[in-house]
Amino acid sequence: MEQVPDAQPVPVCYRHPERETGVRCTRCDRPICPDCMISASVGFQCPECVRGAGSASSARATAPRTIAGATVVGDTRLITKILIGINLAVFLAGRARPELIQDLWLIGAWPPAPFPATQGVADGEWYRLLTSAFTHEEFVHIGFNLLNLWLIGGHVEAALGRARYLTLCLLSGVAGSTVAYLLEPPTTATLGASGVVFGLFGAFAVLVRRQRYDMRPVMLMLAISLLFTFSPGSGVSWQAHLGGLVAGTAIAYAMVHAPRERRALVQYGTCALVFAVILIATLLRTAQLT
């Protein structure tokens, strides 16, 4: 005879215990009913978190936290604005001095074999794994990436908090560069914040799933982006997109699903694991090329 698992209790609103609900406050993570929902940049918040004050019986209410456990701040797009500013500054510097782009973009090894590499990650220029994620040459390219960074990144930053959000963005960008370094010909130059953007796509999907919202718009947006990525002749680095997507999804999942009693350990342990994979992959590829 097959055993029937115990039914899971349906959450009820913490202010109206007689009302069942599937929605939680994005700051303190307590269940709230439609009468208690107040629209926010990401999902809904409860009245106590919006007022910035709480009851004496709930430490989470007196010190509002995001869904990932970060302290709630006033400007929830500060890091997003800084990242956009860095990308614009590098873009303008590259337009004024085009040779700068060649010092920042990602390239595995140059010149081609059998000549010994004098440029590239294989020659010790590991910084290119990061700088390439902030470098663009074309207006359309930077426009598309920065638009997505503003639209999606702002929501993710509000949910994760500044430090966690910045960590996710940087690791997604470097992970995208690392996969491109692994799988592309070493003499192929790549650049752009697409690894960061696809990391944010993955993180946003995790947040929508965690908060039990309709996944169809997110999946459609992601499907269209992946279709363009893998279209013949698109000229984009699918390797960088894939690397950023996987890293961003994994990190975001750990950040929003980590148990409260071990939150920091799980969150930053996952980030350390992703960084370790990046480091090992880079070392192996460098050894292969040299």
For residues 134-141, average pLDDT: 91
pLDDT (0 to 100) of residue 60: 44
* Closest C-alpha to 168, from 182, 156, 180, 150: 156
Q: Identify any residues that bridge with 34 across adjacent strands, giving them in sequence order.
A: none
Residue 8 reports pLDDT greater than 70: no
* Closest C-alpha to 152, from 86, 92, 83: 83
Active-site residue identified among 194, 231, 237, 257: 194
What's the Cα-to-Cα distance from 81 to each of 153, 154, 168, 287, rounded to whole Å?
Answer: 10, 9, 15, 38
Active-site residue identified among 136, 141, 155, 241: 241
pLDDT (0 to 100) of residue 4: 37
pLDDT (0 to 100) of residue 233: 59
Sign of the dihedral through C-alpha 190, 194, 196, 202: negative
Q: pLDDT averaged over the chain?
A: 85
User: Does 16 qualify as catalytic in the annotation?
Assistant: no
Cβ(73)–Cβ(61) under 8 Å?
A: no
Residue 163 reports pLDDT greater than 50: yes
User: Does 241 qualify as catalytic in the annotation?
Assistant: yes
For residues 211-219, average pLDDT: 73
The residue extents of the domains of the chain are 1-65, 78-289
Structure tokens at 246: 């996987």
Choose the CATH number for 78-289 among 1.10.3720.10, 1.20.1540.10, 3.30.70.270, 3.30.200.20.
1.20.1540.10
Write down the pTM of the prediction.
Answer: 0.75
* Closest C-alpha to 275, from 247, 249, 242, 253: 247
pLDDT (0 to 100) of residue 9: 64
Choose the CATH number for 1-65 among 3.40.50, 1.25.40, 3.30.40, 3.30.70.
3.30.40
The rounded distance, in Å, linking the Cα atoms of 20 and 11 is 6
